[in-house]
Structure 1
């Protein structure tokens, strides 16, 4: 009887371990999927804000500062290079925002 009870306990333990592994796998997939969705949403929001700022083609000092701030957020969010490259160029520019960077960003926004 004791052997049978020990065998049942061992079987239950193995089943529990297998179940825990499946639960852990499912949890990891859910976390990764959630993180991916958050990054996609964040990238979309950064793109939306950047596109609104360059829509008219004129960049004020305040808008330049905002675009510079969006550059890091866009890179972190995994926005495509067609967005992050002109944003980074605008952020790194001195007193004069490069017209080609504004144009490149407008073209990326039009897609």
Structure 2
């Protein structure tokens, strides 16, 4: 009879231990999910920071030849070579549009296109 009571007393203890293990397992699973989410966010942020840095560098290179407002043949050729790279890097169209027009304009580079690109470069740098 004591054995029977002992067995009956053990059932709640086993149930309590099983419940505790389930809670520990859930806590471990939650912690693993949180770690995975944090890692994913960190990777995403790093990728975003890298992309922004690449765009910033591409804008810097694209805008350098027109800073003084005069475009020579060398600078025009340089801009022509940078257009596709700037597009691929995600440089805003407000910069790449005039850039492309300057590169394709031949000997007669429109002053308003140069001014438009200068303004776009200044706006980008200020923002």
8 Å CA contact 2:62, 2:86 repeated in 1: no
TM superposition shift of 1:59:
3.6
- TM-score, normalised to structure 1, is 0.70
Ranges in structure 1 where 5+ consecutive residues have no aligned partner = none
Correspondence for 1:49: 61
Cα 1:98–1:8 change in 2 (3 A) is: farther
For residues 58 and 86 of structure 1, the distance between their equivalents in structure 2, rounded to whole angstroms, comes to: 13
Cα 1:94–1:104 change in 2 (3 A) is: closer
Mapping of residues 1-111 of structure 1, within 5 Å: 6-56=18-68, 57-60=70-73, 62-90=74-102, 93=104, 95-96=106-107, 98-99=109-110, 100-111=112-123
Ranges in structure 2 where 5+ consecutive residues have no aligned partner = 1-12
- TM-score, normalised to structure 2, is 0.63
Cα 1:90–1:11 change in 2 (3 A) is: farther
Rg larger for:
2
Of structures 1 and 2, the one with the larger relative CO (CA 8 A, separation 6+) is 1
For residues 107 and 32 of structure 2, the distance between their equivalents in structure 1, rounded to whole angstroms, comes to: 58
RMSD: 2.7
For residues 19 and 35 of structure 2, the distance between their equivalents in structure 1, rounded to whole angstroms, comes to: 24
Cα 1:97–1:70 change in 2 (3 A) is: farther
